Every structure is written in structure tokens, then in C-alpha cells.
Chain A
Amino acid sequence: MNARNTHSATRGAQGAATEQGHAWETVIGLEIHAQLATRSKIFSGAPTAYGAAPNTQACLVDLGYPGVLPVLNAEAVRMAVRFGLAIGARIARQSVFARKNYFYPDLPKGYQISQYELPIVAGGTLDIVLEDGSRKRIGVTRAHLEEDAGKSLHEGLAGLTGIDLNRAGTPLLEIVSEPEMRSAKEAVAYMKKVHTLVRYLEICDGNMQEGSFRCDANVSVRPAGSDKLGTRTEIKNVNSFRYVEKAIQYEVARQIEVIDSGGRVIQETRLYDPDRGETRSMRSKEEANDYRYFPDPDLLPLELDAAYVESVRAELPELPDAKAARFSAQYGLSDYDAGVLTASRELADYYEAVTRGVPGQPKLAANWVMGEFAAALHKEGLEINAGKLTAERLAGLLTRIADETISGKIAKEVFEAMWASGENADAVIASKGLQQITDTGAIEGAIEEVMAQYPAQLAEFRAGKDKLFGFFVGQAMKATRGKANPAQLNALLKKKLPG
């Protein structure tokens, strides 16, 4: 396929051009599958834990044995309702589980139980922040409950296919957006927003490597200014933000090139190959299954009354947007900082715990949480709640900056020692003798020592070479091993150097 190689070679340039949206407009809708963090499966009592030996977490219901029946997990319902309420959607008083019929070895019953015509959640919105800082509202068409299928394994089985049904029956919430995103970046921003939200709501662990959070992207292009949708392709099962961005960029460039070279985009399902950085055709619309959806007669319609919905609403945590707005107002943070600090509930909670430990210093706390602390976590690939440095200990360090026991620069040294040893700030400061010197006599002593050490420079300074002042600051600071209070040192030098 020559044409495809060409796409590959030129996709970067075209992708960029398209992102600027000169001639073509990109239209993207996402279907996100969030695995719900229930302990047991959506229709059986088998556990959902990841990584067990094949087929050890599948009971008769998951195996689709003759005679067994599904029983809906109430916790999965509660989680779906939490999500619906968080995006301002309608919670269906009555929703219906349907069977999606198709044959596949890892689909034990020959059908997947999903919601089709009447989903539990319909019509919500999410706001994303664009690169220029402006906000855009993205519509969420619906979110419905369904069961996951099992896995087919081919590796190490020499020509055979192994079936692992541990994942079969795992509850999923499929979150379907309106086709309202106009670039790969917007799509990623939306996906991140959903990712943040489901973790806030504690309904999904968001683990993308394990497939707990993945998406299908529907992508089409149309001439800029047109209000008619182009033919879309669906890129299946992408499980990282970076891949979503790259897959969409590639696909947009491919579609534009197909059209530019006189061809037609075919409605089809495509797979993204991260190793080759391209999407490949999986099956066309003509080959698509007729899923023969019909209401599952084994499950009654799910009916939720207003009291139930209100009880779930009452348990909702503060949501990311509300929290960010409060951070800005309460702590005087910039929108950007507030956004970063509320990107996850754990980070926000951590930040708030730090500010409580060092009252009156919300900006200092923000700088340190987003700066040194975030960098240290990132460097070691740790989660906030790994417990490496508690908020109380970080607040202890910031308290010593605030009360001028140490300078900001020394504080970084203390931070590193705390990170490595787990000791508290005061212990590190004491054992390393890092307290800031504020005793005028001691600073004067150091200045006099330096003046005696560099008579030539002193003479030059006194002859008018003002810029040597900095030299003396440096030397005097060095003599105090960096511990002199900088303001005091400056003042004393100004007094003493002129003689």
C-alpha cells in the first residue's frame, strides 16, 4: 500500500496544518470506557481484581453456563448515577439492559449485556480548558452500563488461542460524547477531564495500562465552514492520552490525503498501532455485525426513584471545577495553579493539608507542592498517597521558610534530605546546622573576615568599582555556608564596605 506509506511520511506536517484548521475542520467524538471500581462483577459475585491467573476470577455466570442468570450489582448502578449527577445529566427513572448479540470466543454467552435504547445517564456536559486558556463546553450524549468481555490470548500458545474470562463481566461505564471536539488536543483535554472526574468520584481507578480507562475515537474531517459531517472512522481501544493524540492526528492527515487525492473516506473501524504510529483498517461497515439488540429478558428494567438519586447526590464529593474555583478564591491562586492542584483529588487534598499546616502561606504551599514535591514524585514514579512525604512534614519545612529559620535555597537542600531520610524538617536543619544566621554580630564577623581576605578587591570597590558589591555578597554568604539572612547581609555589607 503505497498511499499508506506516504501518509506515514508526511503526517506530521499535515497534522500540524490541520490543527491550525485552515482548509479542513476536524470533528471528533469519543466513547470512553471506564471500568467501574466495584469489588465484584456487574452481574455476578466474582471478584474484579486485576492480574489473577487466567480463569480464576470467573464464576458460572461469567462463564455463561447453561441455566445461570445475571443479577445486577447495585454498586455499579450507584457509580453510574454519581457520574451522571457530576456532569449535570438526566438520570433515567427507567433504563433497560439489552443484549448485543455476536459470536466471539471471549464472549461466553454469545451476547454482551449493555444498555442500548434507554441508558441510565443522558445529556450532560463537561468543560475543558483550551490551550489559549479559554473554556469550551463538550456535550456528553449518554453514559451507559455494560459488561466487559474476556480476553483472547495468542502468545506462547503455538497456533492456539487461549481464553481468559477473568475480565468477562467486569462493569464498564461507556461515556459517549457529542462530536464536538475540533482537534486532537481538545480530544485529549476532554479525555483527561473525564479521567480526572471518574477518579474524583472514586468510580474508576483510571489505570490506563491495565485498560481500566480506554477510548474509541470517532474522527471525520470536513471543509472548514461546512455544517455537514464527513464520513467518520472509529479508532478502537486506545489506552493512553498520547496515543489518542497521535492516532487522531494520523487519522486526520490520512483522511485529508484520501480526499485530496480524489478518494472517499470509508466508514470503518481502525486500530492504532503505536509502534508504527499509524491506524490500520480493522473492518468496514459492510463487514460490521448486525448486533440484533433486544431488551434482556433476564433483567427487569432498572427503576430509580427520585429519593435514591437524591441520596446519591448528597454523597457527591466537591467536583474538580468547583474545587478549582474555590482554590482560586480562597487561596488567591491563579486559575492555572488552581487547575493543576485540583487535577486529582489526592493532589488537592494534599495541597489543602499543607496549607493547613502553614497558615497564611497558600502561594508558598502551591509553589512547593507543584514544584519540588511534584518533581520528586515524578522522578521516582510515585503516587501522592505513597506516603513518601506527608503533608504535615512538608508544611513543617515551609513553616521554617516562613519564619525565616532557613532561606528558600537552603529549604531545597532540607527537602532533599527529608525526601531521602524521612526525617522532619527541624531534625534535618538541626543535624546539618542549616539555621539561618540572623545574629548581626555573626554576620558582621563573616563580613570582616572576607574584607580581610580580599584587600585588593576591597580597594577597587572603594575606588568606585560598584559591581564588586556582588562579589562580596557571594563571599560573605559562602563564609556563612549560605545561612546568612540575605537581607541582613546586604544591609550590613552596605554599611561596612565603604569603610
Chain B
Amino acid sequence: MTDHRTVTQLAAALRARKVSSVELVRACLARIEASQPALNAFITITADQALEQAEAADRDLAAGRGGPLAGVPIGHKDLFCTAGVRTTCGSRMLENFVAPYDATVVARLKAAGAVMLGKLNMDEFAMGSSNETSYFGPVRNPWKTDLVPGGSSGGSAAAVAARLLPAATATDTGGSIRQPAAFCGVTGIKPTYGRVSRYGMIAFASSLDQGGVIAQTAEDCARLLRSMAGFDPRDSTSVDIPVPDYLAGLDAPLAGVRIGLLKEFFDTGLDAGYERRVREALAVFERLGARLCELSLPNIPRSVPAYYVVAPAECSSNLARFDGVRFGHRCRNPRDLIDLYKRSRSEGFGVEVKRRIMTGTYVLSAGYYDDYYLKAQRVRRLVAGDFERAFAEVDLLMGPTTPTAAFALGAKSADPITMYLNDIYTISANLAGLPAMSVPCGFVDGLPAGLQIIGPHFAEQRLLHAAHCFQLETDWHAHVPERCA
């Protein structure tokens, strides 16, 4: 039977000893196993290890010890390194790669008592918006299994939507938390760049990648983020400022909060039904006392092309280490060094990864660097400047997370440009390093729609507060796909 309880509810039940972690974990594992043929949300399921951790959590809880997440089952996107458990990045290249260490996010959640049930499916090296680029096969959308769950954190979003798990880690480089959260009807937060350590998170585009959470509610996101966030001396880009208690003040009144509607997010590309759901959500905020105004960020339309220069450039360099020499896939019987490189990489990487490596290599090449990479960096500063001006006038920006609800498997995989445009509303927050969320805001033809909330740097608390207030007024986040109910 499906367990609809949130992390908040489960953590309380565990602490009150109304349920044991072992019971919870057994139930989750059973649902995960049963769901795999239809959803394929997991790449690796760590049942034995999870039960051991659950037993340890139960002992801690019985002794009145244990961290804030003691005994709570979670899953990790399969690009967070986990000591002793393989980390594939959704790629043949790392099919058998076992990291000798835990990512900082993994270590912190472990220290908080969370129990890992397995590693979640994703687009290969987080490059994709549909989960179709995974070497381990696509994840399917729990609302309708011939649709994509979004990507790249498709496994994380689908698992939470199907209530296989109450929460999962995820990462967002251009929308990889928010877009699948929107497609699957769950809540996801991409924190400010630098808020969560990237140490142990296998890099796609280092200046854009940020770890975060997908859960049922904003309150759950706050609960997990509280344990994940914070300065890490092993990540030079993590920021050394204190982590506030994200749970504090979630219930405070919303009156007086200034919300800006991004004109560019309500352009002609936005599905009409989707727009209605978003406008209805905005009306809820208005009812709660927020003040709405429309804003224009003129450089936003330039975000997608700039992103598809910067992200591939960084990826082409980040993925150079997968050369068949020390770890990862190595071709059989290489003739010489060049053959080893060529065949190991040709066999190990999928089409989309290769496309981005080639794009990135091209834009960094002598003679093209100024026209592409430097220009893209300038656009990035312009976009950041737009946001800065906007946040001088409003506290939060809101709009749709995606232009449409989930699309069909295979519908866009032949045309990379159409696929890339799916991230049109999410990419700008990554370029500017801003925190952003997606919150369920209703359904379009039976499929979930997502409201995107963007805030200034390190305003996670403000985002979570607004989202929580919305979720106290609405129940879109509590809807569960019929097949999973």
C-alpha cells in the first residue's frame, strides 16, 4: 500500500516510535521493486545496505538519539558519489564505477540519519530534459507512462510522485530539478549556486550545477535542505555564510510580499491551459495578501543560447577525465593510446553527451572563443543584471516552470533544439546563480503544471515560505497518480 506521508510526518512518526525505520524501508523497497518495470526510476537499489542503516536508525531512535532525519528513507540522484555503491551518472561510461568516497551531500544526509534506498535514474551526465538519454533506459512519468518525467532528475521526480520515497536529492544545471518536478507534480528546489556543496557531485557544467531536493512539499524541501546546505572547505565555490533554519517562520503571513510576474515567461510559447493554472496560482498569492506586478527582463530571451554555449564548454572539459585510463569504460584491446581514447569515449558516451562535448569543444576553440564563450559570459552578466534590478523592486519572481506539461516519450528526442527550448523558463536562474523552485499548481488535461518561484541570492527561506503558504491553501501537491494511489 502506498504511503503518502511526507518527510515531516514520517520523521515525527519515527521519533514517536509509531513506526520503525525498518518497516518503512521494507515497504518502500517493495514499492520500488514493483514499480521498476513500469517506471524505471532507479538504476541501483541498495536493499541490504538500506535495511542495515534502518536498523541502526531504529537503535538510535530507541535510545533517544539520531539526527533530524533519523530513519527517513531517501534516494540519491545517481551522480552523487556514494562510497561502495556504484555511481553511474546514467552512462555506460560509469556503468561499473564505484566511488571510494561519499559526496558531501550524501555524507551530510547520512549524518542527519537519512537512509539511502538506492540511486535514481537520470539523463546521461545530467544532459537532457526528458530522461531519455539515460544509458539505463528512460524513466516514465507516473501520471502517464508513455510520457517523459522530465529531466535530468527524472528518477528523483518520478520516485517522489509515485510515492516510492518521500524525498530524493537532485541537481539542477538548467532546470533539471524544476522541470521534472513540474512534469511529475512534485515540489523541487534548486538553491543558490554555492549554497550546497558540489563536492562528490559528478560535474556537468561546474558554474551552473547545484544540488537540491525534490519532495512532496516545500516544508519537506526545507527539512532536507537544512541538513544538506552549508559551506564545504572542499568546494571552493561553496559560500561561507550561515545556513538559516529553513523551517523557522514557514507559517508566517505572506501579506505585503511583492511578487513580480516575468513578462517574458508569459510569451506566446506558453500553453494556454498551463498559463491559466499559473494565473490561478498567482491569484492565490494575491488572496494571501501578496502584491503582484508585471516586470520585464529584456535579456531573458538570450538565456537559452548563452546556456548552450557555457554548459557544453564546461562539460567538454569536465568530461575529458573519462579517457579509459584510470576509471570508467575502457574499450577492448586498444591498438594504441589514440585508439584507447577514441573507442573508450565513443563507446562510453551516448549521443547527447557527444553532441555537447563537440559543441563545447567548438566554442572554446581558437578563433571561436571570443564569439561564443566570451559573448555567452557577457549575456550571463546581462541576465544577472536584469534579475538584480528586478529584485530591487520585488521580493520574488513567479511564472510557469515549463511552457507545456509533460510530453510523450520520443516526441522531441529527434530534435535537440525543440528539446533545449523546454528549459526556456528555467535556465536564466542558473545563469544568474539564483535559488528557484517549482511547486505543483494544478493540472492541464490531467497532467501536472508547475509554478516557478525565483528569489535573490540566498533567499531560499523566502521561496520556501511562499511555497509553503501556497501549499497550505491548495492541495495540488497532495495529488497522487491514480496508478500509484
A interface, CB within 8 angstroms of B: 60, 63-72, 99, 101, 103, 105, 108-111, 161, 163, 290, 292-294, 297-300
CA of A66 to CA of B235 in the docked complex: distance in angstroms?
Answer: 14
Which residues 198-219 of B sit at the A interface, judged by CB distance below 8 A?
A: 198-203, 205-207
Indicate which residue in A65, A110, A290, A294 contacts B323 across the interface (CB closer than 8 Å): A110
Contacts A109-B321, A110-B323, A292-B365 supplied; 8 other A-B pairs, CB < 8 Å: A64-B326, A66-B87, A69-B199, A101-B317, A108-B321, A109-B320, A163-B326, A292-B369
User: In the bound complex, do residue A60 and residue B100 qualify as a contact, i.e. CB atoms below 8 Å apart?
Assistant: yes
Closest Cβ of chain B to A379, distance in Å, is: 47
Write out the residue numbers on chain A whose beta carbons fall within 8 Å of the beta carbon of B366: 290, 292
Give 8 pairs: A residue, B residue, CB < 8 Å, sorted on A.
A66-B97, A67-B200, A70-B236, A71-B234, A71-B236, A294-B364, A294-B369, A297-B314
CA of A69 to CA of B327 in the docked complex: distance in angstroms?
Answer: 17
Check: B373 CB closer than 8 A to any chain A CB: yes
Write out the residue numbers on chain B whose beta carbons fall within 8 Å of the beta carbon of A290: 365-366
Closest Cβ of chain A to B367, distance in Å, is: 9
- Nearest 5 CB-CB pairs, A to B? A110-B320, A297-B207, A292-B364, A297-B206, A67-B200
Check: B341 CB closer than 8 A to any chain A CB: yes
User: In the bound complex, do residue A67 and residue B203 qualify as a contact, i.e. CB atoms below 8 Å apart?
Assistant: yes
Check: B337 CB closer than 8 A to any chain A CB: yes
Scan B222-243; emit 1 where CB is below 8 A from any A CB, else 0. Answer: 0000000000011111000000
Q: Which residue of A lies closest to B93 (CB)?
A: A66
Closest Cβ of chain B to A43, distance in Å, is: 9
User: In the bound complex, do residue B236 and residue A63 qualify as a contact, i.e. CB atoms below 8 Å apart?
Assistant: no
Write out the residue numbers on chain A whose beta carbons fall within 8 Å of the beta carbon of B313: 294
Indicate which residue in A64, A72, A109, A110 contacts B236 across the interface (CB closer than 8 Å): A72
Q: A66-B202, A68-B200 are in contact. Are A294 and B103 (CB under 8 A)?
A: no
Closest Cβ of chain A to B176, distance in Å, is: 17
User: In the bound complex, do residue A103 and residue B320 qualify as a contact, i.e. CB atoms below 8 Å apart?
Assistant: yes
Q: A64-B321, A101-B317 are in contact. Are A69 and B94 (CB under 8 A)?
A: no
CA of A163 to CA of B337 in the docked complex: distance in angstroms?
Answer: 13
Write out the residue numbers on chain A whose beta carbons fall within 8 Å of the beta carbon of B89: 66
Q: A110-B320, A111-B320, A297-B206 are in contact. Are A65 and B327 (CB under 8 A)?
A: yes
Write out the residue numbers on chain A whose beta carbons fall within 8 Å of the beta carbon of B337: 105, 161
User: In the bound complex, do residue B327 and residue A101 qualify as a contact, i.e. CB atoms below 8 Å apart?
Assistant: no
CA of A298 to CA of B202 in the docked complex: distance in angstroms?
Answer: 12
Closest Cβ of chain B to A171, distance in Å, is: 16
Q: Which residue of B lies closest to A291 (CB)?
A: B366
CA of A66 to CA of B125 in the docked complex: distance in angstroms?
Answer: 11
Check: B270 CB closer than 8 A to any chain A CB: no
User: In the bound complex, do residue A300 and residue B101 qualify as a contact, i.e. CB atoms below 8 Å apart?
Assistant: no
Closest Cβ of chain B to A345, distance in Å, is: 34
Closest Cβ of chain A to B168, distance in Å, is: 18
The size bracket of the interface on B is 35 or more
User: In the bound complex, do residue B326 and residue A292 qualify as a contact, i.e. CB atoms below 8 Å apart?
Assistant: no
Q: A66-B87, A290-B365, A297-B314 are in contact. Are A163 and B237 (CB under 8 A)?
A: no
Q: A110-B323, A294-B317 are in contact. Are A66 and B234 (CB under 8 A)?
A: no
Closest Cβ of chain A to B412, distance in Å, is: 28
Closest Cβ of chain A to B102, distance in Å, is: 10
User: In the bound complex, do residue B317 and residue A110 qualify as a contact, i.e. CB atoms below 8 Å apart?
Assistant: yes
Indicate which residue in B94, B198, B320, B373 contacts A294 across the interface (CB closer than 8 Å): B373
Write out the residue numbers on chain A whose beta carbons fall within 8 Å of the beta carbon of B162: none
Check: B421 CB closer than 8 A to any chain A CB: no
Write out the residue numbers on chain A whose beta carbons fall within 8 Å of the beta carbon of B201: 67
Q: Is the interface of A mostly helix, strand, loop or mixed?
A: loop
Write out the residue numbers on chain B whose beta carbons fall within 8 Å of the beta carbon of A60: 100-101
Which residues 151-209 of B sit at the A interface, judged by CB distance below 8 A?
A: 198-203, 205-207
CA of A210 to CA of B265 in the docked complex: distance in angstroms?
Answer: 61
Check: B284 CB closer than 8 A to any chain A CB: no
User: In the bound complex, do residue A101 and residue B320 qualify as a contact, i.e. CB atoms below 8 Å apart?
Assistant: yes
Closest Cβ of chain B to A237, distance in Å, is: 20
Q: Which residue of A lies closest to B338 (CB)?
A: A103
User: In the bound complex, do residue A299 and residue B100 qualify as a contact, i.e. CB atoms below 8 Å apart?
Assistant: no
User: In the bound complex, do residue A66 and residue B327 qualify as a contact, i.e. CB atoms below 8 Å apart?
Assistant: yes
Scan B317-360; emit 1 where CB is below 8 A from any A CB, else 0. Answer: 10111110111100000000100010000000000000000000
Write out the residue numbers on chain B whose beta carbons fall within 8 Å of the beta carbon of A67: 79-81, 87, 99, 101, 103, 199-203
Write out the residue numbers on chain B whose beta carbons fall within 8 Å of the beta carbon of A293: 364, 369
User: In the bound complex, do residue A292 and residue B200 qualify as a contact, i.e. CB atoms below 8 Å apart?
Assistant: no
Indicate which residue in A110, A298, A299 contacts B321 across the interface (CB closer than 8 Å): A110
Check: B121 CB closer than 8 A to any chain A CB: no
Q: A71-B233, A110-B320 are in contact. Are A66 and B325 (CB under 8 A)?
A: no
Closest Cβ of chain A to B286, distance in Å, is: 40
User: In the bound complex, do residue A108 and residue B236 qualify as a contact, i.e. CB atoms below 8 Å apart?
Assistant: no
Write out the residue numbers on chain B whose beta carbons fall within 8 Å of the beta carbon of A99: 317
Closest Cβ of chain B to A41, distance in Å, is: 14
Q: Which residue of B lies closest to A165 (CB)?
A: B326
Check: B361 CB closer than 8 A to any chain A CB: yes
Q: Which residue of B lies closest to A111 (CB)?
A: B317
Closest Cβ of chain A to B193, distance in Å, is: 10
Indicate which residue in B99, B323, B361, B369 contacts A66 across the interface (CB closer than 8 Å): B99
CA of A65 to CA of B237 in the docked complex: distance in angstroms?
Answer: 18
Closest Cβ of chain B to A47, distance in Å, is: 18
Q: A64-B326, A108-B326 are in contact. Are A69 and B234 (CB under 8 A)?
A: yes
CA of A292 to CA of B341 in the docked complex: distance in angstroms?
Answer: 18
Write out the residue numbers on chain A whose beta carbons fall within 8 Å of the beta carbon of B206: 297-298
Write out the residue numbers on chain B whose beta carbons fall within 8 Å of the beta carbon of A69: 198-199, 234-237
Write out the residue numbers on chain B whose beta carbons fall within 8 Å of the beta carbon of A105: 323, 325, 337
CA of A72 to CA of B313 in the docked complex: distance in angstroms?
Answer: 23
Closest Cβ of chain B to A450, distance in Å, is: 84
CA of A63 to CA of B99 in the docked complex: distance in angstroms?
Answer: 12
Closest Cβ of chain A to B174, distance in Å, is: 15
Closest Cβ of chain A to B372, distance in Å, is: 11
CA of A218 to CA of B128 in the docked complex: distance in angstroms?
Answer: 47
Closest Cβ of chain B to A347, distance in Å, is: 41
User: In the bound complex, do residue A66 and residue B81 qualify as a contact, i.e. CB atoms below 8 Å apart?
Assistant: yes
Write out the residue numbers on chain A whose beta carbons fall within 8 Å of the beta carbon of B94: 66
Closest Cβ of chain A to B323, distance in Å, is: 6
Write out the residue numbers on chain A whose beta carbons fall within 8 Å of the beta carbon of B325: 105, 108, 163
User: In the bound complex, do residue B361 and residue A292 qualify as a contact, i.e. CB atoms below 8 Å apart?
Assistant: yes
Write out the residue numbers on chain B whose beta carbons fall within 8 Å of the beta carbon of A297: 205-207, 237, 314
Write out the residue numbers on chain B whose beta carbons fall within 8 Å of the beta carbon of A109: 320-321
Write out the residue numbers on chain B whose beta carbons fall within 8 Å of the beta carbon of A161: 337
CA of A292 to CA of B198 in the docked complex: distance in angstroms?
Answer: 24
Closest Cβ of chain A to B238, distance in Å, is: 9
Write out the residue numbers on chain B whose beta carbons fall within 8 Å of the beta carbon of A65: 99-101, 327
Closest Cβ of chain A to B107, distance in Å, is: 12
Q: Which residue of B lies closest to A44 (CB)?
A: B234
Which residues 358-415 of B sit at the A interface, judged by CB distance below 8 A?
A: 361, 364-366, 369, 373
Closest Cβ of chain A to B62, distance in Å, is: 35
Write out the residue numbers on chain A whose beta carbons fall within 8 Å of the beta carbon of B237: 69, 297-300
Closest Cβ of chain B to A45, distance in Å, is: 10
Write out the residue numbers on chain A whose beta carbons fall within 8 Å of the beta carbon of B364: 101, 292-294
CA of A163 to CA of B94 in the docked complex: distance in angstroms?
Answer: 21
CA of A297 to CA of B317 in the docked complex: distance in angstroms?
Answer: 10
User: In the bound complex, do residue A63 and residue B326 qualify as a contact, i.e. CB atoms below 8 Å apart?
Assistant: yes
Closest Cβ of chain A to B229, distance in Å, is: 17
CA of A456 to CA of B226 in the docked complex: distance in angstroms?
Answer: 112
Q: Which residue of A lies closest to B239 (CB)?
A: A300
User: In the bound complex, do residue A68 and residue B199 qualify as a contact, i.e. CB atoms below 8 Å apart?
Assistant: yes
Write out the residue numbers on chain B whose beta carbons fall within 8 Å of the beta carbon of A292: 316-317, 361, 364-366, 369
Which residues 69-84 of B sit at the A interface, judged by CB distance below 8 A?
A: 79-81
CA of A103 to CA of B342 in the docked complex: distance in angstroms?
Answer: 11
Scan B276-319; emit 1 where CB is below 8 A from any A CB, else 0. Answer: 00000000000000000000000000000000000001101101
CA of A71 to CA of B322 in the docked complex: distance in angstroms?
Answer: 21
Q: Which of B100, B199, B233, B234 has the most CB of A within 10 A?
A: B234
CA of A299 to CA of B207 in the docked complex: distance in angstroms?
Answer: 10
Write out the residue numbers on chain B whose beta carbons fall within 8 Å of the beta carbon of A298: 203, 206, 236-237
